[in-house]
């Protein structure tokens, strides 16, 4: 029996290793992957990809903002990323008179480049395995509480040493649920300026209709420039700053791609959950995602109804709507893929074989025998808590005014103290004024009031009374279930709904103002929901998730013993990763086959449909009609996008897609909708990353924008 179980495990391991394209690998460990990459066509060495002592590809990659990737493409600090990654900065710099979202923006001289306030880019200086140092004095007999405090203290000591004598940002990240730890050292640049962006009709061509969809025809790119002080070091914005001189920048290939070409994506994927169990997958696919989708359906319909036909509101809410719609559509595709490809059944199968392997040996049974039963127990406890947690996040916290009111808690608490600290109060007031100015510049009361009414209604109707703030049941009776009337009364009375009144309070802050604000209906609603959450949900939710992490830590250890030949990649956690694969089309469903590339012909074809998301700018139509394609023409047209089997996730947006020589061939910007389950389960038959072909970006920069000076900065390989 033992031999049979072992043989079954070996067969499964071998079949897994055939899925060569799965994984998001730490560049510091490229030595373990480089042979497999070379078998697929890679011509780089591990040192070419990642090196601390010499310049390498990692020095041309940046964490762009808080959750995207960018890459250096010139020796003058020019960065290229996705249009949707630069969207927030482009929006902030836009106005009715200068609508850069609608019309695009191009700086033909450096003096025309626009400072993107608040935007940063971060270079990874180095990463280091510090597991032994983090787990020093931790043994198998150490209690979890003691382990947590020891690990936290060890991490702080490691970070202090790493930061000594420099201005770097340092972080220690846990991998495999705390089985391993790595130190990340970053250099963060603050003076970032917008250089170029196509109009949204190109940069967001297809809009929501095509989001997460293939075939795709989106020119999803934008360009920024990093500025540094005279010593090439990070510095706040200054007219004295100069373009950053990178250690490495990417050369750009004009050769393009063909079927089965090797591709590599180098970037900062956000979050994956590859090792969660069948109970977790079932909860996500069949309960949590459907709930969140339904709530965002409502919000999106409300926003769109007010944005339609109102240019001011459209600009104001463009980024908010885009953010809400992106996750909404992803969740739909993710749940569909998980159900279609029987993810729960496959997890159950793995767990069954793991259970057999464990029970076949007394020592293994002693170590891992309780792991799977513990998951059953914990997920049964988590289910109602997780649902309520989701409704707090997606319903209550989706109301902008409630969120804004919550920012006044620190100053309200400060005024409750026996003696005021004047400097602290002044500092808090300064922050509140700044936040209020930003908030009201992108706040439209009718939208938020309607969202408020609908979200409160959904919370009341879907969450058990035991988990609700007491006032909701009373209000349901008082207003006879008419939450819109309740919303009208609340927004009519609230000081937070009146920007002039609120700024008057902030400019003349005293005990009367603090009393008015702390007793405000919106603030009291925030306080009541927050109190109920903290008492009934938050603590218990954290207890269960902490227990799950502990159990997963043990489960991963067991899986590694169970499958000794398998190379386990760590889940994504916004650290720099390499994924690799090949250019390939796919079959989304029976009798349908998708090619691996799209062209400008498809842009024009979609434009002829006269659909809102498919508006083709006049100049682009003219260039197409005249076949004025310049050096970027391929078979009488322009390549636009392509798909490959690279394993990607959120955060990989803007990541460079590199060929076998490490040259830039595209920018990753999306995944195919049918395979968005790849955050939880990767399947090479259906999971595809979508990239804009770099030749389309170059064509837009050169022929559409006439920004030839930017092309001259780059190194093009024919």
Q: Which of 222, 653, 655, 678 is catalytic?
A: 653
Q: Which of 220, 261, 670, 702 is catalytic?
A: 220
Q: How far is CA 82 from CA 199, 579, 689, 713, in A?
A: 13, 18, 14, 19
For residue 597, the cross-strand partners are 642
Spatial distance between the Cα atoms of 387 and 389, rounded to a whole number of angstroms: 5
* Phi, psi values for residue 68, rounded to 5°: -130, 180
Spatial distance between the Cα atoms of 49 and 590, rounded to a whole number of angstroms: 39
* Phi, psi values for residue 622, rounded to 5°: -65, -45
- Give the closest residue to 394 by CA, choosing from 484, 328, 492: 328
Considering all CA atoms of the chain, what is the largest pairwise distance in Å, rounded to the nearest integer? 80
Q: What is the helix, strand, coil percentage profile of the chain, to 5? A: 55, 15, 30
Pairing of the two strands 592-594 and 191-197: unpaired
* Phi, psi values for residue 264, rounded to 5°: -135, 130
Indicate if 191 belongs to the active site: no
Chain centroid, CA 40 distance in Å:
28
Spatial distance between the Cα atoms of 191 and 76, rounded to a whole number of angstroms: 14
Q: Is the dihedral of CA 59, 64, 69, 72 positive or negative?
A: negative
* Phi, psi values for residue 64, rounded to 5°: -95, 115
For residue 642, the cross-strand partners are 597, 691
Q: Are 223 and 80 in contact (CB under 8 A)?
A: yes
Spatial distance between the Cα atoms of 100 and 199, rounded to a whole number of angstroms: 7
Q: Which of 51, 71, 84, 520 is catalytic?
A: 84
Indicate if 567 belongs to the active site: no
DSSP string, 151-171: HHHHHHHHHHHHHTTS--EEE
Which helix (H) or strand (E) segment holds residue 230: the answer is: none
Q: Which two tokens stand for residue 141?
A: 């007999």
Indicate if 84 belongs to the active site: yes
What region does 255 belong to: left with phi over 0, alpha with psi -120 to 50, or beta?
alpha
For residue 641, the cross-strand partners are 598, 692
- Give the closest residue to 264 by CA, choosing from 535, 71, 65: 71
Q: Give catalytic residue positions.
A: 84, 220, 653
């Amino acid at each position: 029996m033992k031999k049979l179980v072992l043989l079954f495990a070996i067969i499964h391991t071998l079949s897994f290793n055939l899925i060569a394209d799965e994984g998001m690998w730490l560049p510091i460990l490229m030595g373990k992957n480089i042979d497999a990459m070379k078998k697929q066509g890679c011509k780089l060495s591990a040192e070419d990809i990642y090196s601390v002592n010499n310049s390498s590809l990692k020095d041309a990659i940046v964490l762009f903002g808080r959750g995207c990737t960018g890459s250096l493409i010139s020796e003058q600090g020019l960065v290229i990323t996705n249009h949707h990654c630069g969207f927030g900065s482009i929006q902030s710099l836009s106005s009715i008179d200068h609508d850069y979202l609608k019309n695009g923006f191009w700086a033909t001289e450096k003096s025309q480049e626009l400072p993107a306030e608040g935007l940063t880019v971060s270079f990874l200086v180095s990463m280091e395995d510090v597991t032994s140092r983090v787990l020093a004095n931790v043994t198998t007999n150490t209690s979890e509480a003691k382990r947590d405090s020891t690990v936290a203290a060890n991490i702080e000591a490691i970070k202090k040493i790493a930061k000594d004598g420099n201005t770097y940002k340092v972080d220690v990240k846990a991998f495999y649920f705390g089985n391993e730890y790595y130190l990340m050292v970053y250099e963060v640049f603050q003076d970032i300026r917008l250089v170029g962006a196509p109009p949204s009709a190109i940069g967001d061509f297809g809009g929501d209709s095509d989001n997460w969809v293939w075939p795709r025809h989106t020119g999803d790119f934008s360009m920024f420039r990093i500025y540094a002080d005279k010593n090439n070091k990070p510095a706040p914005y200054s007219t004295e700053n100069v373009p950053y001189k990178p250690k490495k920048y990417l050369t750009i290939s004009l050769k393009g791609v063909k079927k089965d070409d090797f591709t590599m994506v180098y970037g900062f994927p956000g979050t994956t959950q590859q090792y969660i169990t069948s109970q977790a997958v079932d909860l996500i696919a069949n309960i949590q995602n459907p709930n969140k989708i339904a709530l965002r359906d409502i919000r999106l319909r409300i926003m769109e109804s007010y944005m339609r036909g109102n240019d001011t509101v459209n600009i104001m809410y463009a980024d908010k709507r885009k953010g809400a719609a992106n996750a909404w559509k992803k969740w739909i595709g993710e749940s569909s893929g998980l159900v279609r490809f029987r993810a729960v059944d496959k997890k159950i199968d793995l767990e069954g074989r793991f259970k057999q392997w464990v029970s076949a040996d007394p020592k293994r049974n002693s170590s891992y025998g309780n792991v799977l039963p513990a998951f059953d127990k914990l997920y049964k406890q988590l289910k109602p808590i997780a649902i309520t947690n989701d409704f707090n996040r997606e319903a209550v916290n989706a109301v902008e005014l409630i969120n804004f009111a919550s920012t006044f808690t620190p100053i309200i608490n400060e005024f409750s103290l026996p003696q005021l600290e004047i400097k602290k109060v002044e500092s808090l007031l300064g922050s509140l004024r700044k936040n209020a100015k930003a908030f009201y510049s992108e706040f439209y009361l009718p939208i938020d009031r309607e969202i408020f009414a609908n979200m409160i209604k959904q919370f009341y109707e879907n969450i058990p009374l035991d988990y609700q703030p007491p006032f909701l049941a009373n209000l349901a009776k008082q207003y006879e279930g008419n939450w819109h009337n309740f919303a009208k009364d609340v927004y009519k009375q609230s000081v937070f709904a009146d920007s002039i009144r609120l700024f008057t309070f902030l400019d003349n802050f005293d005990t009367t103002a603090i009393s008015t604000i702390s007793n405000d209906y919106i603030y009291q609603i925030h306080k009541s929901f927050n109190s109920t959450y903290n008492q009934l949900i938050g603590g218990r939710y954290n207890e269960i998730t902490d227990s799950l992490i502990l159990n997963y830590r043990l489960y991963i250890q067991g899986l590694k013993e169970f499958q000794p030949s398998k190379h386990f990649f760590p889940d994504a956690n916004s650290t720099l990763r390499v994924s690799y694969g090949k250019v390939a089309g796919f079959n989304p469903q029976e009798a349908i086959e998708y090619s691996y590339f799209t062209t400008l012909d498809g842009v024009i074809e979609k434009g002829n449909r006269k659909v809102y998301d498919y508006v083709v700018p006049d100049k682009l139509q003219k260039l197409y009609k005249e076949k004025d394609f310049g050096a970027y023409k391929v078979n009488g047209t322009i390549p636009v996008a392509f798909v490959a089997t690279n394993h990607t996730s959120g955060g990989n947006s803007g990541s460079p897609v590199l060929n076998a020589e490490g040259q830039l061939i595209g920018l990753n910007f999306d995944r195919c909708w049918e395979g968005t389950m790849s955050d939880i389960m990767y399947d090479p038959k259906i999971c595809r990353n979508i990239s804009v072909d770099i030749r389309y970006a170059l064509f837009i920069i050169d022929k559409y924008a006439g920004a030839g000076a930017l092309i001259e900065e780059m190194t093009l390989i024919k």
